[in-house]
Amino acid sequence: MNVQAWVHAYPLLLLLLIPAYVALLMWATSWLSGWSLLARRFRASEAFYGETWSWQSARFRGWFGYNNCLTLGASPEGLYLSVMLPFRLFQPSLLIPWREIEVETGKMFFGYYDTARFRIGTEERVTVKISGKLVDRVRQAAGPGWPLYKIERMEAQTRG
């Protein structure tokens, strides 16, 4: 039986398989990126009232990209991360206190592009990297909450 004949024979089964497939993809995304690990301790339990920026991108664990689907926010209390509604299954909003974040800043692309790498959680150690104008926006919104120390390793790596 070819695919087209199968689809015509079992249309209801196909309607059930598509949502199951999407749910499996959302679960795998949450697990592979480290989002589910962070959600165990840093799930946002109330509304976030700091400054936010929608349609943002970040790279989790160095290779897993959330491209143009994040709302990222910052306040003196912490860093806020939320996935757009259609992709939020298994990925609840997060609010990470600044005391749980190490920040490594630097430049990319011959010093023209700001970048920040956050190591989140004393136990989890999930890295989240943002770049561009968003770095300064987050730093400004964090105000006194932004960690005062910075590691210059990223800057040295781009020079050498």
CATH number at 39 reads 2.30.29.30
pLDDT grade for 67, boundaries at 50, 70 and 90: very high
Q: Are strands 51-60 and 126-131 parallel, antiparallel or unpaired?
A: antiparallel
How many domains are there within the chain? Answer: 1
Record the pTM. 0.81
- Please, what's the largest Cα pairwise distance for the chain? 65
**Helix, strand, coil percent content, the chain, rounded in steps of 5:** 40, 35, 25
The alpha helices in 67-152, defined as continuous H runs, are 133-142
Amino acid 52: pLDDT: 96
In a domain, 82, yes or no: yes
pLDDT digits (tens, 9 = 90+) for 87-126: 888 999 999 999 999 998 887 666 677 888 999 988 889 9
Which residues constitute the domain of residue 63? 35-159
> For residues 100 and 93, what is the distance between their CA atoms, to the nearest angstrom?
16
Say which residues have a Cβ less than 8 Å from residue 42's Cβ, sequence separation at least 6. 94, 95, 96, 100, 120, 121
> Whose structure tokens read 């989002």?
35
DSSP 75: -
pLDDT grade for 158, boundaries at 50, 70 and 90: very low
In a domain, 23, yes or no: no
Amino acid 153: pLDDT: 47
In a domain, 11, yes or no: no
Mean pLDDT rounded to a whole number for the chain: 85
